[in-house]
Each structure stands twice: as structure tokens, then as C-alpha cells.
Chains A and B, each alone.
Chain A
């Protein structure tokens, strides 16, 4: 009798784990098992906000119907794991059941960062990451009139928009002097800040949380900022970043730092154990990339890379030029390549902003050789394919601006802002050269 081969065991059914499972299935007949304690099926974490806002129902977040997993012979286990025994090649479940593996892939994602403050464990203090966070927020909503959101990043603005959509007064506390200023240059940060305020959200820059006030039943009743300002509220959203979710591997022999340390092939120090997605920390990140990236696209690409490796085509993790996108209330954001929050000795910027609408465009280039480094756009959709090629081919800023309209991706009949931007750039360029 032929023995069934040991399965590829994937812990975590987020974008990294599921991309791996699906892409691997297209290339291999090995048994695949995916374990998750969050939800039986893959869902789009980035879209949790739309369920709360009533754009979609929970079921709409699931890109695949339940039958998909059976049809593709991907076994799903809805259970928490408690440990890993790499010498026996086993993973231990909370039920004490053991799952053996041929290859083990850890894709356990992130956890929201916490602060060490008085009142931090009160009811009504939470992050927004997990399905449970959404459910908890939904339960609390009827009793929230006023909320404080702490942390001026992507999840912060999403949470502010969510609460605002349900008629809750939102105080948005940002430690820095402008919104998301570790990424966004001043002008963009100001535009977003003004837009957030136009919606009626109260923005507090240069403001940190000092303490959370609670009532007798340990429910939030307000916060105190480090400026001693008191803000009554029934909810505190902590959106100050995330960290790898790796607690259950602490004593498993896995080498970890912030995350699970992996090399270029996404392998850990243990045999046949890999880590991908938010929980992985690259020992030698590719140039211009961070060691841990809690980003949808990075998780997806790690999953794709490992799918090739595990189906017999060993690959190193080589993400292409950086890209990302977001939406801040009504303003869409796209970026390709790398643009720093301010100019440096090497990096110069050229910036354009629409006089009335919430549209802006910034290109970064190398001062010395004028190589195009990257672009930020607000309110203007850009074609990924074109920028991907320009970045790979190391085009100069002038070549990029010359061909800029090829990147037009706004809807038909809309104003082609890129034409205006192009004209403004060359007018400015002419003036600079004349000087």
C-alpha cells in the first residue's frame, strides 16, 4: 500500500497562507492543510471596515465560496495552535491533537501594538486587526457617543472613518505633527488632515495619550492626553502599528527577533519550517525593503514565492519595485517606487497640487543622475504596469514625465490631470534651465 505523503501544513489563513495554498495547489498534488483559529475561511482583512460601515456583509469579504476548498482539496482546520515540536515534525493544537507535516509554513500575521498606560485594559480599549476586534466594536457601538483614536497611520484613519460613519464623534490623536508623516511629505499630510477635519473628525497633532479613565465597571469614560487635556469618550481605538504574532513559538527552537527570522528562501532555522507574511522577519531584506512588512502585497508575494519553492522550483524572495495604495475617507492614494517624507542630500522632489480638488502628484528623483525613484499620488489613479517598468528600467525623471500620460488610469471622460502635471513640470524645468 502506498503511504499518503505528509502534508504541507500552513498555520494562518490570511493572504500569505492562502496565496501559498492556492498557488501550490495549481502546481502540486501534495496534501495541503491550513489551520486558523480566527475564521474557518479566508477573508479580506483590509475590508473589515466596510462591514462595519454597511457597505458589505461579512460574507462579501470571503473571496472563495465554501465549496472551493473541497474542490481544490485544501483541508481547513478551525483551531488554535499551541506549540511546535520540530524534532517530531509536529504542530500541537489547542485540543492537544497533533498534526505532522512534510513542510510547515508559519503565516500567523500580526497583533496590534499595545501601550503601557493606566486603564489600558478597560472595556472599550482595542485595536482593529482581528475579526474579534470587529465583533467587539460592533457590540460596543450602541453605547459609544464619542471615541478617541490613537495613532496617525492607515488603520487609524480607517477606524476614524468607520466610527464617523456610524454617527460617533471622533477625536483623532496623532503623536507626530501631521498625519502619517513618516511616509507622507508635509503637503500631502496637510491635505489629508484637512480632509479628515472637513468630515468632522477632530484632529489633535503632537498629542500623545497619557492615561485612560475608567468607571466603576472598568469601562472607558475618557482619556487624558500628555497635555493634560481631558476628552470624555466611551471607546479608545489603539492603532499604533502591529507586531508579528509569534507568541506560541517562543519555546519551539525557532530563532526569532521581532518576527520569525527567515533567509532569502523564507526558511527558518528549523528544518522544513518556513515563515511568510507579517510574522516573518527577513535576515537580509532586499534593498529598499524593511525586514518586516505588514502589508497585503508583501504577504501575497511571499506566498507566491514559497509556492514555487515547495513545488520544486526553489526561488528567493525578490519583490519588484515597491507599490502600495490606501484610501483616506474619499481620497485615494497610490505610490510606486520609494519616496521619502522629505528631500535629502541625494533625493529631490517635484510636487504638483490641484488648486481646488484633492489631487496631488509628487515625483522623487536622484539629484546626481536624475534617476526616477518613485511617485506619490492623491486623488489620481496611476497605471501600475507602466510605473513597474519605468522603475525596473531605471528611467530618468525626464523620461518618466515625457511619457507620463501613458500612466493615466482615471475613469474615461475624466480630466487627464497627468497632462496638466506634465505641462507644469516642463514649464518649471525650462525656467530652471534658463536660470
Chain B
């Protein structure tokens, strides 16, 4: 048997194993079994089968990144398979968020169907039967695992891609899935609070909600740790890491949403629109969401601190002065450093923070127990949870992968990405370096940018790419046929060059008008 034949055998074995795994999953969701053996067989068959399949598929090809036929394939060019998959995913998300009973979830009695199928795993990890969220978390992690393995094989000539994907898998499997479940078991019956260390505010939008703050405060030393760590992430860890490495340290190395986009979403990255009009829309939308979550959080904290005996021990007055100080500081720093030319994408943040400052000033006359402008903080957060937390980040964010590309949520909605993006744009060592005058304007970089950045527009001018939205996935550099792009961290001073022409020409230019 030659190499090709043995690879075909391996590929088919993988395919069959994976299909049996899927069949077991289907069986599990239609029967009411909670048989541990079945679940384990199902998960391992899917994982092993797909890994074997990807390994055999890519080992049969000469090393190198192949995007042949991407725009001929009905799955990856918004064809009928893309639409079908998009609809199926959307339906699944609607069921999880709004009709979990369709998936077998029961609040009063023992769950059935797909949810119950995951009971054995749930019991082993956290000691309780599965909820729809546990089932979803398990499938989510499984997706990152299997498509992560596929991604690694596809990009196996590029060590940056391999290490980055291993990181994404590690943080999903460990920090988002296993550790929180195990911690929940150890922490017994204390009230719920988030135990995913990497999931910081504002991506975790309920971090500052009263029930969550109280949950952490009553959660013993673990709860206190999560509270302090969560705060430290926002004000110390995240700005520092973003300064040194750009927002990629989070968005394409650690984050769970990013993790799914980078792995399962990889075949759809080319579907993100590169139009200038969409870039404008993106800046509006992402800052509106940032404003929305900020107002909601302030309102929630305002109500929380209205009770002088609140768990945090912060008075409403202290909160007010604190917020005023914070927003003024940001505005002064932004305005001071970038008086002459605040980049367009950063200007939106400037307005956002300005709005927040004015709103904070207006809070003074309100005691917090009654609705402000007829809206209570409870209503606000319910709306945010529904519109942004469920519909935008979940249903649209993943459901529309095959139609709008893999980073819809990250690009248009994620308030965390907005904050990190501002830091990346203004205070970071990160940039994508353009290699002198080597660009031939082919457009592979722009086409395969999942964030919809027109990378080529910078590269063909010999300019470095420094954009708020860049998540540093590095695919533009990987698919460049001429070795033009490189992700780099270096001193912030020389990031933005202002030469009239790309490198190569020795002509003497006139001083600019």
C-alpha cells in the first residue's frame, strides 16, 4: 500500500468514526439516555475521527497553505450549504437561549434529550445534572478542539499559528470549561458567580451586577479572589498585556469567542465585508454597545450603592467621584496626547467616554432606588442581556458565521474588543509591519482578514497596519504570497511611518503642502 492509499484509508476511517460519533449524539438527543459509556464513546469518536480525518487530509498535501477553491465551494462562498448551516446554527442558538426545553432541559424534573445526554460528564465534573448551558459549553469546547486540530494541520508550516491555536484550545478547555466546573463542585452550595478567570468585564457583562457581586462576596476566599482578580484584569493585566503584545493576547490567543471564530470559524473568515461603509458601521455599532454596557453597569452599581450597607462598602458618593475621576482621566489622556490628530477609530471612543462623563454628572440628583428617565437599572440590564448577550453575541455571532464571516460579534459588538482596540491603536508596541515596497496589491491579505480590515490598502502604500480592530490572528501574513507582512512588537515610536512612497524609489519628494 503506498502513502496515498494508506492516507485514504485513514481518512475514511476517521470519517466513519466521526459519523458514528455524530449518530450517537443524534441518538442521545432523541432518546432519554444518560448512559455514560454512550456519551464517552460519542465524544471520543467525534474527536478522534475528525482528528484522524484532518491529519490524513492535510498530510496528503505538500506543506503550504492552500485556499484553492474556497470561492467555488457552496459552504464557504455563501452558497446553499452556507445558508443551510447558517440557519441550522441560528435555530440551535435560538433554542439554547430562548427554548431550552426543546433540547430537553427541564427545571422541575429530570432533563431529557440532548441536555440529559451530558449528565454523566456534568456529574463527573460539578456533581450536578447537566443544564442546557453545560451541554452547550461541552459542545462549544468540543468544536474548538476538533476544528483547532484541523486548523493546526492546515497551517502546520507556520509555528505562530500552531502555538496560538494550542493556546486557544488550552484556555477554552481549562479556563472556560474544566476549571470553573471543578471549582463549582468544590465551592459547594454557595451562590453562583463566574469562575472563568479570563472572562472579564465587559465581555462578562454581569460582573458588576448586584447578585454577582454578592455571589462573589459570599463565595468565601474563592469569591473574593475572583472579585479582586476580575478587577485586576480590567485595570492592570489587560492594559499591560495589550501594551506589550496588542489586543491579540486576548482576542486570538485567550478569548473563548475568539477561540471558536479562529477554529470552527476559520473556513468562513473570507466572508467578512471589506467595504468602507461597513467599516463606518462597525465603528458606530461597537461603540454603541460599549456605551450601552457602560451605562447599564453604572446604573446597576448606582442602584447597588444606594444601599449604604452594600457588600462592597462603597458609598454612592464615592462611586460618583470615582467615575468622574476615571472618565475625566481618560479624556484628558486621550485629548492631551492626541490633540492634533486623534485617529478616526479612536475619536469614537472619545465621544463614548464624553457621553458617559455627562451622564455621570447627571446622576447626582438621583438616589438610585427609582427609575431614571423612566428606566430602571433592572430593565437596562435585562435588555442588554437579551439584545446583546443573547441575540448579538450568541445567535447572530455564531449563527451567521457562514454568511457574514466568523468575527461578526468581535467586530461589530464586543465592548471588550472596543476597549482593547483603543489601547492597541494608541498605546501599544504591536503592529503589522509592511515589508518595504514588496506588496503587489494582490488582495489575499484583505480577503482572508476575518475582521474585515483592508490590509492591502496599507501594505500597498508601504505603511504598517495599526488598527483598533486587528485581533492579530496573523492569517494575512500567512497567506501573503510575497512575504510582505509580519506581526511584530517593537517600540511604539516608529510604528506609524509617514513616507510619501513605498520603499524602493530614490526620488526626491517635495515637502508636503
Contacts and interface: CB of A to CB of B under 8 A. Distances in A.
Given A44-B442, A313-B510, A411-B486, A388 B436 contact: yes
A27 B510 contact: yes
A383 interface: yes
Nearest to B159: A413
A67 B275 CA distance: 11
B436 A384 contact: yes
Given A320-B505, A384-B436, A413-B160, A55 B444 contact: yes
Interface string B158-179: 1110010000000000000000
A297 B437 contact: yes
A44 B505 CA distance: 20
B493 to A, nearest CB: 16
Given A54-B72, A55-B70, A414 B160 contact: yes
A206 interface: no
A323 B437 contact: yes
Interface stretch (B26-34, B60-68, B299-307, B365-373): B60-68
A414 B71 contact: no
Given A15-B441, A63-B443, A329-B64, A414 B510 contact: no
A226 interface: no
A61 B437 CA distance: 18
A46 B159 CA distance: 28
Interface string A89-127: 000000000000000000000000000000000000000
B436 A411 contact: no
Interface string A125-160: 000000000000000000000000000000000000
Contact of A47 (B68, B443, B501, B506): B443
Interface stretch (A169-177, A181-189, A298-306): A298-306
Interface string A360-394: 00000000000000000000011111001000000
A269 interface: no
Contacts of A69: none
Interface stretch (B12-20, B213-221, B280-288, B477-485): B477-485
Contacts of B482: 325-327, 332, 334
Interface string A315-343: 11111100101110110101000000000
A62 B509 CA distance: 27
Given A55-B67, A308-B509, A383-B436, A60 B443 contact: yes
B487 interface: yes
B456 interface: yes
A50 interface: yes
A142 to B, nearest CB: 13
Interface string B429-453: 0000101111011111011000000
Given A55-B71, A412-B487, A198 B62 contact: yes
Interface of B: 62-64, 67-73, 157-160, 163, 275-276, 433, 435-438, 440-444, 446-447, 456-457, 460, 474, 477-479, 481-483, 486-488, 500-510, 513
A53 B68 CA distance: 5
A255 B118 CA distance: 81
A27 to B, nearest CB: 7
A307 to B, nearest CB: 9
A411 B158 contact: yes
19 contacts: A23-B500, A46-B442, A50-B442, A53-B69, A54-B67, A60-B446, A62-B443, A300-B502, A301-B507, A323-B504, A330-B64, A384-B436, A385-B436, A410-B486, A411-B474, A411-B487, A412-B160, A412-B488, A413-B160
A165 B68 contact: yes
Contacts of A311: 510
B161 to A, nearest CB: 8
A55 B68 contact: yes
Which 6 residue pairs spanning A and B have beta carbons closest together? A384-B436, A330-B64, A47-B442, A381-B483, A54-B69, A327-B481
A313 B436 CA distance: 24
A412 B430 CA distance: 12
A57 interface: yes
Interface of A: 15, 23, 27, 44, 46-47, 50, 53-57, 60-63, 65, 67, 165, 195, 198-199, 296-297, 300-301, 304-305, 308, 311-313, 315-320, 323, 325-327, 329-330, 332, 334, 381-385, 388, 409-415
Contacts of A409: 433, 435, 483, 486
B503 A44 contact: no
A305 B62 CA distance: 42
Contacts of A320: 503-506
A315 B456 CA distance: 28
A379 to B, nearest CB: 10
A57 B76 CA distance: 12
A330 B436 contact: no
A304 B507 contact: yes
Contact of B486 (A27, A329, A330, A381): A381
A323 B70 contact: no
B160 A411 contact: yes
A63 B460 contact: yes
A317 B504 CA distance: 12
Contact of A56 (B159, B443, B503): B443
Nearest to A413: B159
A414 B443 contact: no
A116 B69 CA distance: 35
Given A60-B443, A60-B447, A329-B64, A323 B438 contact: yes
B64 A304 contact: no
Given A300-B502, A304-B507, A414-B159, A55 B435 contact: no
A305 to B, nearest CB: 5
